Amino acid sequence: MTQSAVHIFDQIRDLCGVALDRWHEANEAEVRADAALSDVRRMVASLIENGCRLASVFAEDRTAVTEDFLIYYVFDHPDDERFLVVRTVVPSHMPAFPSVAAEVPAVNWQEREIQDWFGLVADGHPNPRRVALHDNWPDVHPLRKDFPSDTVLPPFEGEQHVYRPTLGEGVFQIPVGPVHAGIIEPGHFNFAVAGEPILYLQLRMFYTHKGIEKRFEQLPVNRAVYLAESVSGDSSFSHGTAFCQAIERAAGIEIPVRAKRMRTVLLELERLYNHVGDIGAIVNDVGFGVANAHAMRLREYLLAVNEELTGSRLLRGIVCPGGLRHDWNDQQTQRCRESLRGFEQDFADMMQIIDSSDSTRDRLEHTGILHPEKARDLGVVGVGGRASGVDRDLRRDHPYAAYDEVLFTVPVYQEGDVLRRLRVRVDEIGQSLGIIRQILTVLEPGLHLIAVPPLPPDCVALGAVEGWRGEILHWIRTGAHGRLDRCKIKDPSLSNWPALVEAVQGNIVPDFPVINKSFNLSYSGTDR
C-alpha cells in the first residue's frame, strides 16, 4: 500500500463537513466511524464528492442490547485499499432514517430491503414500494430479533404486484416469467413494446427468498461457512472466501501464505469455468451453437480440474476459516499446470472461430448498451461495470488472498454493449491464466490451515471478494459461544439487475435473451 493510499480516508475526513466520531482503523481492511442520523445525507454527499463510492447500505437490530437499530454505510475509494464503514443509530421509538437513494440510485434496492426486513422507514425514498417482500406478504419484518426463524406465515392474501400500465396506441405488454423454460430460478420481466422495440422493462425478483441472513443468526461458525457457500451455487468459493475473511478478521488472525495462494488459484478457476460457459451461452443465444458446444466442452474440462484439486466440481467444501480443508500434492499442482496449458490453446482456437463470424459480431455489437454514466449511477459492478467504463476490481483495489503478489491488468471498455461484456470475459480469462501460472510458480510447501481461536462476542468485520460476477461483501457480528449474531451478504447481482432495465431499452424483444445472458445475474444471490 502506498503512503498516499494509507491516508486518503484521513484526508477526506477533514474535508467531510460533518462530525465522524470514534474514527479508527479497525484492521488492515477497514476504517470505522460513527455519524449522527441527522448528518447522513450531508456525510454521503460529501464523501461521494470527494471520490468515494457507496458500496453497500444495510441494517442491524440491536434493540435487545441498546434499544436501537444500526445502519451501516460502506464506502471505498480508488486510492485506499481499506473500506470505510460508517455507522449511525436509529432509535427504536423513531424507526426512520434519511434515504439517499434519490442522490445515489445505487442504493435504491438496498434501502428498500432495510424497510422490508427491519420495518425502518427510508424517509424521502423516491420509490418506497416493497422490493424484497412481495406486496401480498403479511406485515412482518423477518430480520428483527423478535421474529422467530421458525415462524410459519399464513397463506398470503391481498393484491399482487401492480405493474406500470402500458399506454398508447399499438403499445402492448409482454409478460415473461416468473417461471422460465429452463433450470433458472423465478424472476418476472414485464415488457412494454411498440411492435418489436422495447419501450421499457419492469422486473420483479425475490420470488424464492431463502432467508439465508436470518439462518446465519445463532449458527456456529464451522457450519456457517457451508451456508455461505450456498448463497449462489456458481459462486460458492467466492462467497465462502468472503465469509471466511470476515471471520478471520474478527478473530485477528492471518492465514498461512500457502493458503492465500491456494485460495487465489481456486478463485481464478471459479472465474474461468463461469466465464467460458457464459461466452458459449452468449453466442448460442444468437444462433452459434457450434461455438457453444466448444465452450461447454472447455467448461467441463475446467470442472474436472476443480474436482481434481478439491473433490468438488463447483469448489464446495474446501474453504474454511483459517485456510483450506485440504492440501495439494505435487502431482495435483503439476496436472493443474498441464491442464491449463491445454485449455489455453483450445480456448484460443474457440475464440478464433467466434471472432471469424461476422454475423455473430453483428448481433452482439451495439446491442444492449449500458452507457457509462448509467453504470456509475446504478453502482454496477463486475463484468457489467467494466464493459461500461467502471474501472473497479477488488483484486487490485482491495487486495486479499495473494493478489498483492501477482501482476495482472483489469480490462475496461467504454461501449457497454453485449460484445464488450463478452470481451471483458475473454480478457479476464487470459489474465486469470496468468495469475494461476504466477501463483503455481511460487507455491512452496507450508501450512494450508491454522486453528481459529474462539471468537469473542460482539466483534464485527467485513470480508470482500471480487467474484466472477463482481464484488461480494460479507459483514458479520459475532455472538456468544462461537455463534453468529448477524451476517449481511451483498451479492453483485443485487447491484446489477437494475442495469438490465436500462440496457434493453430501444432494443428488440428477440435480443433480450442475449442481453440478459451477457449480464448473467444470479436469482439465487439476489433472493438470499
pLDDT at 18 over 90: no
Lowest mean pLDDT among 3-7, 329-333, 409-413, 523-527: 3-7
* Cell numbers standing for residue 54: 457507496
Confidence of residue 4 (pLDDT cuts 50, 70, 90): very low
Helix axes 257-284, 512-519, angle to 10 degrees: 180
For residues 354 and 275, membership in a common domain is answered with yes
200 and 267, same domain (yes or no): no
Average pLDDT over residues 344-355: 96
Position 195 scores a pLDDT of 87
CA pair distance 202, 500, nearest whole angstrom = 10
pLDDT at 139 > cutoff 50: yes
Q: Which of 25, 66, 71, 501 is nearest to 249 (CA)?
A: 25
Residue 348 and residue 390 in one domain: yes
Map residue 135 onto helix, strand or coil: coil
289 within a domain of the structure (yes/no): yes
Task: Look at residue 282 in the predicted model and tell me its pLDDT.
Answer: 97
Domain boundary among 204, 221, 250: 204
Where in the sequence is the domain holding 480, given as residue range(s)? 212-526
Looking at the fold, whether 333 and 430 belong to one and the same domain comes out as: yes
Q: What is the DSSP letter of 391?
A: -
The CA distance from 378 to 393, in Å, is: 16
| C-alpha span between 296 and 281 (Å, rounded) | 9
pLDDT bracket for residue 26 (50, 70, 90): confident
Q: Helix H segments across 156-288?
A: 212-216, 221-229, 236-251, 257-284
Question: Is 10 in contact with 25 (CB distance < 8 Å)?
Answer: no
- What one-character DSSP code corresponds to residue 463? E
Percent of the chain topping pLDDT 70 = 98
What is the torsion angle, in degrees rounded to the nearest 10, for the CA atoms of residue 205, residue 211, residue 216 and residue 222?
A: -80
- Cα within 13 Å of Cα(271), Cβ side: 29
Rg for the chain, CA atoms, rounded: 23
Give pLDDT tens digits for 168-200: 888 889 888 888 877 778 889 999 998 889 999
Q: Which of 63, 52, 58, 12 is nearest to 462 (CA)?
A: 58
Q: Is residue 277 part of a domain?
A: yes
**Which of 163, 188, 204 marks a domain boundary?**
204
Confidence bin at 48 (pLDDT 50/70/90):
very high
The residue-averaged pLDDT of 403-424 equals 97
Q: How far is CA 270 from the centre of its chain?
A: 14
Contact (Cβ atoms closer than 8 angstroms) between residue 415 and residue 387: yes
**pLDDT above 50 for 264:** yes
| CATH, residue 34 | 3.30.460.80
Give the pLDDT confidence of 149-173 residue by residue, as tens digits.
888 888 887 777 788 887 788 888 9
Place of cell 448498451: 369
Return the pLDDT at 3: 39
Identify the DSSP state of 496.
H
189 lies in the same domain as 293? no
The answer to whether residue 157 sits within a structural domain is no
Using CA of residue 333, residue 338, residue 343, residue 344, what is the dihedral sign?
positive
Regarding whether 276 and 184 lie in a shared domain, the answer is: no
Residues 427 and 307 in one domain: yes
* Domain presence at residue 158: no
Find all residues with CB under 8 Å of 251, minimum gap 6, and list them: 321, 452, 453, 455, 459
Confidence at residue 196, expressed as pLDDT on a 0 to 100 scale: 87
Of 204, 224, 258, which residue sits at a domain end? 204
Distance CA 111, CA 115 (A): 7
Buried b (16+ CB within 10 A) or exposed e, 300-312: ebbbebbeebbee
Are residues 224 and 177 part of one domain?
no
Identify the sign of the CA torsion 128, 134, 140, 141: negative
Dihedral pair phi/psi, residue 455, rounded to 5°: -80, 125
**Does the pLDDT value for residue 2 go beyond 50?**
no
Query: Same domain, yes or no, for 221 and 85?
Result: no
List Cβ neighbours of 326 (8 Å cut-off, separation of 6 or more): 310, 311, 318, 448
Sheet holding 188-194, edge to edge: 171-176, 188-194, 198-204
Angle, CA of 463, 467 and 468, to the nearest 5°: 175
Q: How far apart are CA 404 and CA 316, in angstroms?
A: 25
Cβ burial, residue 42 (10 Å; 0-12/13-18/19+) = middle
pLDDT digits (tens, 9 = 90+) for 62-83: 999 998 999 999 999 998 999 9
Task: Specify the pLDDT at position 25.
Answer: 84
Give yes or no: residues 271 and 414 share one domain.
Answer: yes
E-strand stretches of 116-157 = 121-123
Question: Minimal CA–CA distance to 111: which of 19, 41, 16?
Answer: 41
Range in 91-105, 186-200, 394-408, 457-471 the model is least confident about: 186-200
In a domain, 89, yes or no: yes
Q: Are residues 103 and 71 in the same domain?
A: yes
Using the predicted structure, report yes or no on whether residue 5 has a pLDDT greater than 80.
no
Claim to verify: residue 374 and residue 522 sit in the same structural domain: yes
For residues 58 and 70, give the distance between their C-alpha atoms in angstroms, rounded to a whole number.
8
Q: With contact defined as beta carbons under 8 Å apart, do 199 and 505 qualify?
A: yes
474 within some domain: yes
Residue 1 pLDDT grade (very low, low, confident, very high; cuts 50, 70, 90): very low
Residue with the larger pLDDT of the pair 77 and 26:
77
CB 370 within 8 A of CB 503: yes
SS3 159: coil
Distances (CA, A) of 28 to 47, 191, 312, 488, 505: 20, 46, 32, 20, 43
Whether 340 and 333 have beta carbons less than 8 Å apart is answered as no
pLDDT for 15 beyond 80: no
- Please report whether residue 238 resides in a domain: yes
Element at 194 (helix H, strand E):
strand 188-194
pLDDT at 407: 97
Domain count, the chain: 3
Residue 98 within a domain: yes
